Structure 1
Amino acid sequence: MSLAQSVVRRPIGPVQPLDRKVLNLTWVGLGGFALAGVYQLSGGTIGVPCILHATTGLNCPLCGSTRMAAALLRGDVDAAWHFNPVVLVLGPLIGVAIGYQLLAWGLESVRLIRLPRLTISPRATNWLVKGLVALLLVYGVARNLN
């Protein structure tokens, strides 16, 4: 990761567009928390069942994410950790990076300040995605060994 530019007060000129991947991850995160809110408000009756768990009884790496987010919404971090510790750790890290990108874009759009945007090379992105998939696969296998 590198900071591609320096801070500029009251920027002029065209605004660097927001990366589509950032927008897509934003919508996925917001959708997940909306689903967790519905799950919490319905008392756990409305949710999206995991197809792998429904057909095999095995937990996928993301099983428990809705219950984890619902536990966070009610302030129960211990229960959230129990439901899915990997997503509990990775979610906020990804959320902070996305939030910073949205903040930098928003401040630049209203011509207040231009903050440096986080940039990741395609090669680094490729390795990060492969590492995340490997982590989730190992976690998915490990959580079913009990």
Structure 2
Amino acid sequence: MSISQSVVLRPTGPVQPLDRRVWGLTAVGVGGFALAGVYTLSGERIGIPCILHATTGLDCPLCGSTRMAAAMLHGDLAAAWHFNPVIFVLGPLVGVAVGYQVVAWALESLRLVKLPRLQLSSRTADRLLNAVIVLLVVFGVLRNLV
């Protein structure tokens, strides 16, 4: 992992593109909060049902995420924690990291300022992804045992 340390006003030259994973996480985050907004505005009638829960009665690691985001939009953090504590913690952490990357890229693309950007090696990114997957699987198993 490396971070470029310089801030440059009115940068010139080529702009380093964002990794496709950053764009993917951006789309998931924006889509998730859009769905939470629709869920809230519809009086909690429109949402995406979990196929695992509908067929087995078990909660997947993401079950409750839409209700969690809707509770966050209402400012009800206790309810948000209740619906899905893992996503309640991971979501904002990932959101801030990804949001910073997108803002830094946008400011540089507009030639306003070049901010330091986090660069993860493929190996580090894979390790982080695997750790999140393990965390979600363990959470999914534990939430169904309790």
With structure 2 as the length reference, what TM-score do the two structures score? 0.96
**Quick one: which amino acid aligns to residue 11 of structure 1?**
P
**Quick one: which amino acid aligns to residue 25 of structure 1?**
L
State how many pairs are aligned: 146
**Quick one: which amino acid aligns to residue 52 of structure 2?**
L
Identity %: 69
Corresponding residue of 2:65: 65
Q: Distance in 2 between matches of 1:25 and 1:126?
A: 14
Do structure 1's residue 114 and structure 2's residue 123 form an aligned pair?
no
The CA RMSD measured in Å over matched residues stands at 0.9
Structure 1: 4+ residue segments shifted above 3 A = none
Corresponding residue of 1:27: 27
Segments of structure 1 that go 5 or more residues without pairing to the other structure are none
CA displacement 1:36-58 (0-9 Å, x = unmatched): 01111111111000000000000
Segments of structure 2 that go 5 or more residues without pairing to the other structure are none
Q: Distance in 1 between matches of 2:145 and 2:14?
A: 54
Q: Distance in 2 between matches of 1:81 and 1:28?
A: 20
Q: Distance in 2 between matches of 1:55 and 1:11?
A: 54
Specify the SS of the correspondent of 1:49: coil
CA displacement 1:59-86 (0-9 Å, x = unmatched): 0000000000000011100000000000
Pairs within 5 Å for 1:1-146: 1-146=1-146
CA-CA distance at 1:4 after TM superposition: 3.0
Q: Distance in 1 between matches of 2:10 and 2:58?
A: 54
With structure 1 as the length reference, what TM-score do the two structures score? 0.96
